[in-house]
């Protein structure tokens, strides 16, 4: 399974997302958005590309906060994945992210706009960075492959 991971899009309309990002996300099986979506138009547009799992962030409009949880755990290809937007600075999130969820294989967060991809205590801790600069790809199979894609403009 190939998963596209984005965060911190900070746009009001799906049409405002970078064209190369939309093209890349149209070739995956699932989109995960780790918050700061801003409006539901972005989620509606993403759903035209693939199924979407998303959480709200601190910059999202009330409609998004009402529609999406602060954090979520779901399973894909036998792996438990926790998603949160996060709060606080980069070093706080990177250190504390593994404590946010128990019993998961992957933790995805956003908020910092800084890409992060590291296994900590046996858990993949992953931040795709700001969608204007980078996004992530997770490939789930016998192993978990995670990579950050930068400079796609």
Q: What is the pLDDT of residue 86?
A: 87
What Cα–Cα distance (Å) separates residue 152 from each residue in 29, 81, 124, 131, 136?
Answer: 20, 26, 24, 10, 12
Residues 6+ away with beta carbon under 8 Å from 77: 1, 140, 141
The structural domains of the chain, ordered by start, are 2-150 (3.60.21.10)
Q: According to the model, what pLDDT value does residue 90 have?
A: 65
Q: Is there a contact between 116 and 89 (Cβ–Cβ < 8 Å)?
A: no
- According to the model, what pLDDT value does residue 48 have? 98
* pLDDT digits 0-9 by tens, 79-99: 999 999 987 766 666 667 777
Band of residue 55 on the pLDDT scale cut at 50, 70, 90: very high
The overall average pLDDT reported for the chain is 93
């Amino acid at each position: 399974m190939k998963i596209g991971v984005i965060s911190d899009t900070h746009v009001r309309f799906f049409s405002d997302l970078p064209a190369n990002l939309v093209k890349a996300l149209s070739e995956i099986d699932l989109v995960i958005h780790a918050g700061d979506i801003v409006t539901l138009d972005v989620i509606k547009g993403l759903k035209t590309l693939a199924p979407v799992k998303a959480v709200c962030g601190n910059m999202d409009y009330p409609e998004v906060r009402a529609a999406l949880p602060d954090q979520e755990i779901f399973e894909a290809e036998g792996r438990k994945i926790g998603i949160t937007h996060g709060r606080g600075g980069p070093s706080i999130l990177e250190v504390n992210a593994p404590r946010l969820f128990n019993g998961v294989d992957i933790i995805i967060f956003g908020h910092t706009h800084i890409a992060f991809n590291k296994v900590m205590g046996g858990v993949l801790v992953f931040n795709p960075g700001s969608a204007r600069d980078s996004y992530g790809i997770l490939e789930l199979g016998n192993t978990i492959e995670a990579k950050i894609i930068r400079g796609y403009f």
